[in-house]
Amino acid sequence: MSKYTCANCNETYKKVRSDEECWKEFHETMPEAEHDEIGVLCDDCWRDFMVWFKTLSKEQKQNMRDEFIKSNYQ
């Protein structure tokens, strides 16, 4: 099985799910996101992110996405 490095904590882990399974879960949570707008997170960092993410308003989520796109594609 392959490995990945968490984009948040920088630890390396063995993959236990396919990229397709992870993308499906992410897309169900954030349907507007594109593949190149995401980083791979370990389960602990994903859970922490989701706790924080659920506190944001729709406008805050859109602003966060806009800022990400602006900083990474200009």
Give me the residues paired with residue 3 across strands: 14
Reported as half-sphere exposure (CB side, CA atoms, 13 A), residue 47 has a value of: 2
pLDDT more than 90, % of the chain? 34
- Residue 1: band (very low, low, confident or very high) from pLDDT cuts 50, 70, 90: low
Structure confidence at residue 38 (pLDDT): 72
Cα 28-34-37 angle, rounded to 5 deg: 110
Residue type present at position 69: I
The pTM of this model reads 0.70
pLDDT digits (tens, 9 = 90+) for 38-73: 788 899 999 998 899 889 998 998 888 888 778 876
DSSP 2-69: -EEE-TTT--EEE--S-HHHHHHHHHHH-TT--GGG-----HHHHHHHHHHHTTS-HHHHHHHHHHHH
